[in-house]
A and B are shown apart, each in its own frame.
Chain A
C-alpha cells in the first residue's frame, strides 16, 4: 500500500526564519495536496500540485512537486506566529479512490 512520510515530525522556529517541510511517497503521486490544521480545528486546503516539477505559491508559502512525482516540499518564508499549526500532505493512493494523508508536521513559531 502507498504511504506518505513527512519530515520533520515537529519544528520549532523563531519568527522571521524560513523553513521547509517534506512529504515523501512510496509510490508515484497523482495529485498532491497540502493542508494546514490549526490546533483543535479542521483542515484548511492550501494548494494542490499535479505535474512533475510543478511549483505553486500563496502568500509566503511555496509548494513544489519533484520531477519524479514522489516527493513534495512546502517552504515558508519569513515565518510568522500565524503559520503555526499542523501541516499535512495528502494524495490519491496509487490505483485507488482513496485519499490518504501523511503523518503531519507540527510547526511552532515563537516571537
Chain B
C-alpha cells in the first residue's frame, strides 16, 4: 500500500520555466490538497479537490493550477516559476472531505528551488 506518492522529490527550475508536481494516492480518497511549507509559516493551502472534476482555491493559489481528472491523481502545475515559489510542497489526501474523524495522509514532499 503506497499511500500518497509525490514526484519528484527534488527539483531545480529556472525563473519562467513551467513544471508539474505529481501526486497520486491509492486509497480511493475523495479529498486531495496541495500545501506549501515555508520557514516559520507552517503549511499554507494552495488548492484542494473534494472529488474528481472538482477543484477550489486555497489560501495561496496564485501562480498554480490544478486539475482532478481521476480520483487517484491531483497534479499541481507551476505556470511560470518565480523565486518566491521556492518551497517544500506537500500533497495530502483524506477519505471524505475533511469531516471530523477523517485524518489526512501526506506525501513525502517535493523540495523545489527556483533560481
Contacts and interface: CB of A to CB of B under 8 A. Distances in A.
Interface in A81-111: 88, 90, 92, 97-104
Which of under 10, 10 to 19, 20 to 34, or 35 or more describes the interface residues of A?
20 to 34
A36 to B, nearest CB: 11
Interface in B76-108: 90, 92, 94, 97-108
Given A41-B109, A97-B50, A103 B101 contact: no
Contacts of A99: 31, 33, 45, 48, 92, 94, 98, 104
Nearest to A101: B43
B26 interface: no
A63 interface: no
Given A45-B103, A101-B44, 6 more contacts: A6-B42, A35-B106, A48-B103, A92-B99, A99-B94, A101-B45
Contacts of B94: 99
A88 B43 contact: yes
